[in-house]
Chain A
């Protein structure tokens, strides 16, 4: 069964690039989705199927997935990007089920 591993925290200065990882054996064979959650708000999808952006999500948000690691990259980080970020897959290897990573808190210094 899938267990998605995310670092608990990432810090970055404004204007720099933030990279958040999501690890699992052979995750590159899966479609990985990413969500942003700000305090007191519902999660928002920012990347689906590894690298696709929903409408309304800035081009500064991008994703990649290969081997054992998926990565969410935020370029030219802004203060408003400070949030929790979660990766997620749909595991159909045995029982069909959704799996979330533990989340990464992005702090903008």
Chain B
């Protein structure tokens, strides 16, 4: 069974930085693209970023391009999301998910709150 466990969320000040992690188990991690999807409180789902299995190809939503960086360490079976210069509107639950065309399964999420 594939399991994804996010960590690294918390309170961050506007203009600060934060790195989210997603530890994967139950799969040959390097074979699969991975993605981050977020959900602001009371709002819908928003795709954030995806990365190919090798890590060579990365894709970003316009809302985070230039501020967020997705990466992966296949030897550690871990996905990352580096969040720089966060804004109040980045406050959300951040989910990692296996895949890029579609997302399955999802982790339970880690909450990021951007506030001074």
Contact = CB atoms under 8 A, between A and B. Distances in A.
B101 A31 contact: yes
B59 A54 contact: no
Interface string B40-51: 000011110010
A102 B44 contact: yes
A21 interface: no
A17 to B, nearest CB: 24
B74 to A, nearest CB: 21
Nearest to A33: B102
Contacts of B11: none
A59 interface: no
B106 interface: yes
B106 A44 contact: yes
A54 B109 CA distance: 21
Contacts of B45: 35, 37, 43, 86, 88, 100, 103
Given A97-B47, A97-B61, A98-B50, A42 B108 contact: yes
Contact of A88 (B59, B102, B106): B102
Given A96-B59, A98-B35, A45 B46 contact: no
Contact of A98 (B100, B105, B107): B100
17 contacts: A31-B101, A42-B109, A43-B95, A43-B103, A45-B102, A45-B103, A54-B104, A86-B44, A88-B47, A88-B103, A90-B101, A97-B47, A98-B37, A98-B100, A100-B37, A100-B46, A103-B45
Interface of A: 31, 33, 35, 37, 42-45, 48-49, 54, 84, 86, 88, 90, 95-103
